[in-house]
Amino acid sequence: MSSKKIIIIAGGSGGHVFPAITIANYLIKHGWDVNWIGTKNKIESDIVPKYNIKIHFIHINGLRNANLKTLISSPIHIFKSYFKIKKIINSYLPNIILGMGGYVSGPGGLAAWTSKIPFILHEQNKIPGITNRFLSKISTKNMQAFPGSLPNAEVVGNPIREDIIRIPPPVNRFKNRSGPLRILIIGGSQGASIFNKILPKISFFFKSKVVIWHQSGRNELEKTKKKYQKYGLYQHKIYSFIENMAAAYEWSDMVISRSGALTVSEITTVGIGAIFIPYPHKDQQQLLNAQDLKNNGAARVIEQSEFTIKLIVKILNSLNREKLLIMAEKSFSLGIRNSTKKIFEIIKNISKK
């Protein structure tokens, strides 16, 4: 019997691409054939080929914060992408198409709909993006990470990479841990400029009492390293991007982070105490992603307008490993660890025979 075929459409940011990779790997392990649709200039073009998954590229831009030129050219790109995807569908003949959000899913969802191929959608955020809000009206089935994001959607959590799920629970990790407090700083898949500017000062205040693992984003590595050199480098590790997030999470006593949907879900999967500084989106999606953790005592949330080194120092002074373990356990209790399997079952049930 030939294997079943799926097209996964995901792109634009790690928050869309990493959960889609997790699903793709699980499907491949279960005998499925996977093709991917994404864009050439975003993170998926680096990540997807590393997993030996065939990726087709379309040319499309996001409209959030778009300039006039992008806005004007956008209908043409959507139109062209739609026809390119129709061609891919007609030659590959998938049993199902899965959209994981991001503007790249827009023309793919439309193409699936007009081709009468089952099309299912997954929303990773508490507040859905424009593309998913639109596609949820024409999709065969909607899935969501958090309750209440999309109407009539099943709550399945966010698919988390296997190596992150396998990290031992907080109490085992904290056992026999001593030495400087280990702080992991993550700014989402692209890094956060304001973190690079403010957080190296932690080094000046706490000297060798802390050790920091800092992700700066692609464009600010040298600048961030210089800051640490200025304030004291100690044993800190500074990278543009952390390839092995499982190792970083397992190593850390606490996280200072943006609250993108995937980072928040990963943190609750592992169980780590956190300070979140949500990206100040107009729709406050990152603030809402972090809300449950804050309400359950698993995290502190600082709005960007109040984010100063003084406040960070104050919070860090109030924390120690014992308190962080309590926060970590609260965080762990919020994790959904079987999301991938749930989504796999839905794909199996809905795909064309």
Ligand X SMILES: CC(=O)N[C@H]1[C@@H](OP(=O)(O)OP(=O)(O)OC[C@H]2O[C@@H](n3ccc(=O)[nH]c3=O)[C@H](O)[C@@H]2O)O[C@H](CO)[C@@H](O)[C@@H]1O
**Inter-residue contact 210 to 240 (CB < 8 Å):** no
DSSP 47-66: HHHHTT-EEEE------TT-
Which of 38, 107, 159, 260 is close enough to bind ligand X by CB under 6 A? 260
Which residues from 54-83 bind ligand X, rule CB under 6 A?
none
Q: Which is nearer to ligand X, 18 or 206 (CB)?
A: 18
Which of 111, 186, 255, 301 is close enough to bind ligand X by CB under 6 A? 186
Q: Does 20 help bind ligand X (rule: CB under 6 A)? A: no
For the bound state, the minimum distance from the C-beta of residue 212 to ligand X, rounded and expressed in Å, comes to 14
Which of 261, 267, 274, 301 is close enough to bind ligand X by CB under 6 A? 261
Token code pair at residue 22: 């997790």
Which of 262, 275, 316, 346 is close enough to bind ligand X by CB under 6 A? 262
Contacting range for ligand X; rule: CB under 6 A; set: 48-56, 167-175, 237-245, 308-316: 237-245
Q: Does 190 help bind ligand X (rule: CB under 6 A)? A: yes
Q: Which is nearer to ligand X, 125 or 291 (CB)?
A: 125
Q: Which is nearer to ligand X, 181 or 184 (CB)?
A: 184
Site string for ligand X, 268-307 (x = CB under 6 A): -----------x-----xx--x------------------
Chain position carrying tokens 């994790």: 335
Q: Can you point out the beta strands (E) in the chain?
A: 5-9, 33-38, 54-57, 96-99, 119-123, 141-144, 153-155, 181-186, 210-215, 237-239, 254-257, 273-276, 299-301
Candidates 63, 130, 72, 58; CA nearest to 101 is 130
Q: Does 253 help bind ligand X (rule: CB under 6 A)? A: no
Which of 5, 16, 227, 300 is close enough to bind ligand X by CB under 6 A? 16
Count CA atoms within 13 Å of residue 322 on its CB side: 1
Chain position carrying tokens 């198409």: 97
Paired residues of 34 in beta bridges: 6
Site string for ligand X, 83-112 (x = CB under 6 A): ------------------x-----------
List Cα–Cα distances, 142 to 135, 153, 238, in angstroms.
Answer: 9, 5, 39
Q: Which is nearer to ligand X, 18 or 26 (CB)?
A: 18
Paired residues of 262 in beta bridges: none
Which residues from 192-231 bind ligand X, rule CB under 6 A?
215
Cα 67 from Cα 74, distance rounded (Å): 11
Phi, psi dihedrals of residue 238, rounded to the nearest 5°: -120, 125
Site residue total, ligand X (CB under 6 A): 25
Residues at the interface with ligand X (CB under 6 A): 13-16, 18, 101, 124-125, 186, 188-190, 215, 241-242, 245, 260-263, 266, 279, 285-286, 289
